[in-house]
Structure 1
Amino acid sequence: MKKMITGVVMAAAFLTACNGNKATHDASGTFEVDEVIVSSELTGKLLSFDITEGDSIPKGKVIGTIDAENLSLQKDQVQASIEALKEKTADLTPQVKLLQDQLTVQQSQLDNLLREKKRIENLLKQDAATGKQLDDMNAQIDVVQKQMTVTQQQINVQRSNVGTQNRSILSEGKPLEKRVAQLEDQLKRAAVANPVGGTVITKYAEAGEMTSVGKALYKIADLSTMTLRAYITGSQLSQVKLNQPVKVLIDNGANAYREYPGVITWIADKAEFTPKTIQTKEERANLVYAVKIKVKNDGFIKIGMYGEVKL
């Protein structure tokens, strides 16, 4: 509402000056800038906050720290829980080794029996052994082979059971690892990093104060380029276009002006208002349109300063 009233006053003054044939410019307005309010991303005490209004700060610079000791302790606790899970897992090696040793003994028995079978077969060819001896030997070999099969199955079952048990325990670690990642992300937010390069306009907090998520800490803006929000009449609308170069004037003493090159970057697509101070029928028909003009700032242009435009 305040911007609209200001626009009405400026546009009325501009049109009145035109009516008196004393205008030295085609449009006028005030300078503004895109401001960024930097807020806290964490709740806690501001351990440090080393900025003052007017400071020029580059993008990414850490200018403050929020106490995050509680988060650090939470992270340590979760990491300890992850380590404790490893202690709960079963060690497969002793149980399986016992069965594997048993299997090794059985394999040795089988090898001996196979050699004895070979010897009996040779004796049988020479009629020095009986068929019953060979049958008995085959029966013993069959028993040992079955025992080996059972032992191998026991090894497989043991590995499966322990593996399932361990996977169940270790699966609890995945959510804990995600929790650690969340806490690490929050700990990074304890450092207040400047999001955009610019000049500190307003400081809202001091070191030692408590802050919370979303609480404003300071306001910053890039003052190297200013935006002049000016107003033109409907009859002038056909004379302007985007990226059109124009001349921007600001006061430089009582009767002098400082001149800057500017570029039109935005044109309103509809009239904002019709000034009520215009009395003649012709001037009441004039609609006022807002335009934005980017101007490089050499330090003399200030936010809210009055500016004039020559098309």
Structure 2
Amino acid sequence: MKRISSIVLAMLAVSCGSRTPYDAQGTFEATEVVVSSEATGRILYFNVEEGMPVTAGAVVGEIDSIQLHLQRKQLSAQLSALTGSRPDIEAQAASLREQIATQQTECNRVKNLLRDGAATQKQLDDIEAQIRVLESQLTATLSTLGKNTASINDNAAALEAQIAALDDRIAKCRIQSPVAGTVLVKYAETGELASVGKPLMKIADLDHIYLRAYFTSDQLGRFGLGDRVRVVADFGGDERYDYEGRIMWISSESEFTPKTIQTKDSRANLVYAVKIAVKNDGRLKIGLAGDVLL
């Protein structure tokens, strides 16, 4: 009788151990960013290693940009020569304005003499005609100088735009991390030739990690966005750690159950993906298995 009881208890223990105690299963993921080259040239230095933390905006490498610097120097010289040829409108028009002022003074003097009968009408008409000629010359000169200046300004603006474009290309020769995170993979080394679009490294923010789990349709009504759930990280064997998770995304479309996932209801073929944000204490890794308890 005692032997039979022992067998029954052992069978119950095995039966209880085989039951699935969680509501969903998934794997931990993180937002990964592949940093690619934005320039073509030889990599002068690339100071990152896999597992190394980087900060957002940190310069970790540089691509040869000497040809771009030489082009910029050439354009800067052209711009300097062009702006130096810009006419001094006021200086060139000053002589005509002075002549007009002199003739205006003479015209006023002749008018006074004409009232006293000491000058003739022809003298006044000649001076007024000369003033009109000088004013026409001034207008034409200002128009010509204005057009020349506008043309020079347009050409200078075009050169400045080319210089700005070169500055942007030179800036892209610096290899920077767009986000803060940890280097997962390093694809290039110092001395290699980089080209636009070539992957250089992969970065992930391991401080903000999430579990992608799959739930059946009848489970969706038990939680919503922002709800807190219990996440259990499975490190293998008996090593399991509990974390507080927050529902951050629920898929709007169903999909077939991934082969690596075991749902609570094995009869359900269609499931919904759910992202659960978890604060990483340093132990969680990408690809680690995790369970969810609602």
TM bucket by the smaller chain?
0.7 to 0.9
C-alpha deviation, 1:251, in angstroms = 3.4
Which position in structure 2 is the counterpart of 1:257? Answer: 240
Structure 1 gaps, min length 5:
1-16, 121-133
Query: Structure 2 vs 1, CA of residues 154 and 51 (structure 1 numbering), >3 Å: closer, same or farther?
Result: same
Structure 1 distance, partners of 2:49, 2:77, is 42
- What's the TM-score once normalised by structure 2's chain length? 0.81
Task: State the AA in 2 paired with 1:79.
Answer: S
Q: Which residue identity is paired with 2:20? A: A
User: In the alignment, what sits opposite 1:271?
Assistant: 254
**Cα distance between partner residues in 1 of 2:103 and 2:192:** 77
Shift of 1:24: 2.5
Rounded to whole Å, the distance in 1 between the matches of 2:258 and 2:286 is: 24
Match of 2:33 among 24, 33, 36: 36
Tell me which of 192, 211, 215 is aligned to 2:194.
211
For 1:37-186, list aligned pairs within 5 A: 37-92=34-89, 96-120=93-117, 137-186=120-169
User: How far off is 1:89 after superposition?
Assistant: 4.2
Q: 1:303 to 1:44 in 2, by over 3 A?
A: same
Highest CA radius of gyration, 1 or 2? 1
Report what 2:180 is aligned to. Answer: 197
1:130 corresponds to which residue?
Answer: none
SS in 1 for 2:77: helix
Root-mean-square deviation (CA), in Å? 3.0
Report if the CA contact (8 A) 2:216-2:268 is conserved. no
Question: Cα distance 1:93–1:249, how it changes in 2: closer, same or farther (>3 A)?
Answer: closer
| Structure 2 residue 286 is the aligned partner of structure 1 residue 289 | no
Looking at structure 2, the residues matched to 77 and 61 of structure 1 have their Cα atoms a distance apart, in angstroms, of 30
Structure 2: runs of 5+ lacking an equivalent: 1-13
Shift in Å, 1:192: 1.7
CA displacement at 1:79 relative to structure 2: 2.1
- d(CA) in 1 for partners of 2:284 and 2:233? 8
Following the alignment from structure 2 to structure 1, what is the Cα–Cα distance between the partners of residues 93 and 217?
Answer: 91
- State the Cα distance separating 1:204 from its structure 2 match: 0.7
Could you tell me the TM-score, scaled by structure 1's length? 0.77
Q: CA deviation at 1:61?
A: 1.2
Q: CA deviation at 1:200?
A: 0.5
Deviation track 1:270-306 (CA, whole Å, cap 9, x = no partner) reads 43226899xxxx9535643332211111111111111
**Percent identity among equivalent residues?**
42
Separation in structure 2 between the aligned mates of residue 249 and residue 305 of structure 1, nearest angstrom: 11
SS in 1 for 2:256: coil
Letter in 2 for 1:214: G
Q: How many residue pairs were aligned?
A: 277
> 1:196: Cα distance to partner?
0.7
CA distance in structure 2 between the partners assigned to 1:18 and 1:68 by the alignment: 68
| TM-aligned CA deviation for residue 244 of structure 1 | 2.0
Contact 1:233 1:288 in 2 (8 A): yes
